[in-house]
Amino acid sequence: MQRDVLISIGSNHLAPAHMEQVKDLLTEVFGDNILFSSVIQTQAVGIDSPDFLNCVAAFTTPLDYTHVRNHLKHMETVCGNTPAKRKHNQVEMDIDILSFDGQHYHQKDWDRDYIQGLVKELEGHEVQDSTCSFNSINNHRNKRDK
């Protein structure tokens, strides 16, 4: 069974290199059926730090939530993330699951205008070799807008 996954990706340290690195890692683990939004620069939210580079990505996978999350956390570590760096607001890589198989996570992220804009970029596109139609994204927006 294929599951639809939507993630947010961000970095505020050596960000251009880390964004390229994580795109390669994501493709290596989840295959070529991944769709990336554009990468944009945003101000840090909730921490005093340099600006972030952010994007979102969508893909399908047969893996369960725990396995996907573990892969993503490993990718953060490969990019150089450590608790000590995070303590000093240095984010080498942050990857959050926004939606997994229709279940939404990280509501505060969904409420950010830049996330909504990046997600909107992906609407109407299909992930290669899948039937991912982003219905769960549209359903989330409809619930939020009521």
Per-residue pLDDT of 63-95, as tens digits, reads: 999 999 999 999 999 999 999 999 999 999 999
For residue 135, CA distances in Å to 82, 115, 131, 142 come to 35, 17, 10, 10
| CB 137, CB 101: distance < 8 Å | no
Question: For the chain, what is the mean pLDDT?
Answer: 88
Fill in the amino acid letter for 74.
H
The mean pLDDT of 114-121, rounded to a whole number, is 94
Q: What is the rounded distance in angstroms from the CA atom of residue 13 to the CA atom of residue 125?
A: 30
The reported pLDDT for the residue numbered 45 is 86
What is residue 98's three-state secondary structure? Answer: strand
Q: With a cut of 60, say whether residue 129 has pLDDT above it.
A: no
Cβ neighbours for 89, distance < 8 A, ≥ 6 positions apart: 12, 44, 47, 48, 49
Q: With a cut of 50, say whether residue 139 has pLDDT above it.
A: no
Per residue in 2-38, pLDDT (tens digit) is 999 999 999 999 999 999 999 999 999 999 889 999 9
The DSSP code for 129 is T
The reported pLDDT for the residue numbered 138 is 46
| CB 144, CB 108: distance < 8 Å | no
